[in-house]
Every structure is written in structure tokens, then in C-alpha cells.
Amino acid sequence: MELVCPAGNLPALKIAIDNGADTVYIGFGDDTNARHFAGLNFNEDRAKQGVNYAHDRGKKIYVAINTYPQPSGWGRWIDAVDKAARIGVDAIILADIGLMEYASTHHPDLNLHLSVQGSATSYEALDFYYQNFNIKRAVLPRVLSLAQVQKVVENSPVDIEVFGFGSLCVMVEGRCILSSYVTGLSPNTYGACSPASHVEYIENDMQLETRLGGVLIDAYEKDEVAGYPTLCKGRFESMGNTYYALEEPTSLNTLDILPELQAIGVKAIKIEGRQRSPAYIKVVAKTWSEALKQLDKGDYQINEERNRDLSEISEGFQTTLGAYHRSWQ
């Protein structure tokens, strides 16, 4: 299976390639991608350097243009598609059907992948994108059980990529409106569920508070590790209890079911984390590359040391199989 790793800057891209990634996916430095943070992502020159670095080593680069353009900003999105084609990326990852129409018409030789933001969870949906825009691959949302993924793979007209590791989202990707409720900026159009401009850390003698759009998301004692405030992973009072009312901070980790994912025909494993540090990228690329090599040799075993390494860089320092383990689905 292809190992697809994230990079938010050129050093992280090089680290991913050097530590075993087959492919690195990146975004441009604006709201056309779903990791829109100041200081993150690529301009055209840096992206071209990244493409050259990857191609010189027999690796690939994908560009995520996976937010939904509004009429007032349409030009930025088509410029992003043109830019990706111009610098010679191996595929672009899209969610919006208008952009797919543009890309397939103006750049027919450019490989199109359906983003997880497209929220396609059935092979009928994938067939629509294949018939109309000739997509080559689809990234499935992290809401399907292993049996459901298998059913999609068996009937899909295109290759299937699934998330193997990284932060989880309680929502079906591409459909969340929580952050726009408190910030006025939608992750689906602006590209960030917790825009840095709306984040506050307020410290007093007792605790550290994190707020998003003025809303109290969490409060930490002096010795607690404070997370980045996202509304779905805050601690709130509900029915007399204060806890993670929607979702606990945790990361997906599918190392334990890697043989099953290969057996059902998954073509690529995707790692979440374009917003994470080069140190994170090094650990995940090296760990997953080694695991996939062992799998290819036919002697795969669950490795607790690998799982410990991943737990140390996981959200909330804990991992889960997420929806994959739901045997009733």
C-alpha cells in the first residue's frame, strides 16, 4: 500500500520523503486548503522545490485544494488548480464538483482525487465522480467500519485511500458547521475549524483557559498539557457533569488492522497532520514505512514499541481504531 504523508512546509516534506513516504500531500498558503493557518503551507516556488525533491527520488506530490469556493473567491481556487498543474504535481485532491469540472476540462491529463471533504461514503457516490470527472482515487471519511470500507472497495470504480493515523473528527468531514457557529468562519470554506485569529489563551493564578470566538472551550490546571481549542473536543458541563461532551482528544491508529486493510484492497494509507511539526512527520513516516515494509514481506506482527511511539505524538496521548472496530456496522 502507498504511504501518503502530510507536510506543512518544505523541511517537513523533505523529512517525510527521507523517512519512507511514497507520497507527500501539501496545500497552498490560502483558504483553498483545509489546513489554512498563518505560516503554514506552500507558495508556488516552495511547492515546485518540493515537487523536484520528490521526483528526483522517485516519489510523488499531491496538492489538497479541498475547501469549497464561494462565488466571490472563485478565482483563487482555479488559480490553485492552474498552479498545481503548472508545477507538475502528481495529483490534486478536490472536494467541490465545480472545481472538478474546471480541472477535468482545462487540465485533462492531471490526476484528480476525491478528498475526504467530499464526504463520499458509498460506491454509488464514487461512481458519480468517476463517470463525470474521471477521478482516479477517493479518500474515505473516517466514519465507516472495516466491513463498510470493504464493501466500498469491492464495488468502487476507483482506488481507495483511507486514513491510518492522526487526529480524529467527530463530524463527517466536509459537513461540519460547529466552528462557524462560534467564529463565523466555516472550515469547509475558510479552511480551518479553529482559526488562529479567534483563539485565546487566558492565564490566571489558578488555571489556563482556552477560548475560541470568545467561547470557553477548556480550562487546565497548572501541570496539565493544554491543547489547541477546537469546539468538538472541549470540556463542557452537561447533565451535571463536566467532561468531553462531544469527543475526547484522541488519534486514530490502524497499525493493528493493517493486514486487514491490505486484504480488502485498500490502495493507500493516509497520515493526518499537515499542521504538525517536522518532528511528528519524521516519527510517523519512519514508523509507518517500516510497518508497511514488514507487511509486504509477509511476516507482519503487532509491534507495541511502534504503538508506544505513535501514542506519544497522539492527540491526548491516546489512540483508537475509531469507526473501524464497529462490528455491528
* Cα first-last separation, the chain: 25
Question: What is the pLDDT averaged over residues 54-61?
Answer: 98
Q: 177 vs 144, 186, 227, 288, 323, CA distance in Å?
A: 21, 6, 21, 32, 21
Q: Is the predicted pLDDT of residue 214 greater than 80, yes or no? A: yes
Q: In the listed set 244, 266, 290, which residue is the last one of a domain according to the structure? A: 244
* Confidence class for position 176, pLDDT limits 50, 70, 90: confident
Domain for residue 134, yes or no?
Answer: yes
Which of 27-41, 48-62, 240-254 shows the lowest mean pLDDT across its residues?
Answer: 240-254
Domain for residue 173, yes or no?
Answer: no
Provide the domain count of the chain.
2
Task: Supply the pLDDT for residue 9.
Answer: 97
Tell me the HSE value of 11 on the side-chain side, using a 13 A CA sphere: 7
Q: Is the predicted pLDDT of residue 172 greater than 80, yes or no? A: no
Neighbours of 314 (CB within 10 A): 22
Burial of 224 (0-12, 13-18, 19+ CB in 10 A): exposed
d(CA 210, CA 169): 19
239 and 265 housed in the same domain: no
200 and 293 housed in the same domain: no
- Work out whether the CA dihedral 79, 192, 227, 311 comes out positive or negative: negative
* Confidence class for position 248, pLDDT limits 50, 70, 90: confident
234 and 257 housed in the same domain: no
57 and 186 housed in the same domain: no
pTM: 0.94
Question: What is the pLDDT averaged over residues 208-223?
Answer: 92
The amino acid at 126 = L
Pairing of strands 159-167, 251-253: antiparallel
92 and 143 housed in the same domain: yes
Q: Is the predicted pLDDT of residue 222 greater than 90, yes or no? A: no
Domain for residue 64, yes or no?
Answer: yes
19 and 73 housed in the same domain: yes
What's the domain range around 213? 178-244
Question: What is the pLDDT averaged over residues 185-190?
Answer: 90
Q: Are 90 and 62 in contact (CB under 8 A)?
A: yes
Q: In the listed set 189, 216, 244, which residue is the last one of a domain according to the structure? A: 244
Question: What is the pLDDT averaged over residues 65-78?
Answer: 96
Question: What is the pLDDT averaged over residues 97-110?
Answer: 98
Report pLDDT digits (tens) over 255-299. Answer: 999 999 999 999 999 999 999 999 999 999 999 999 999 999 998
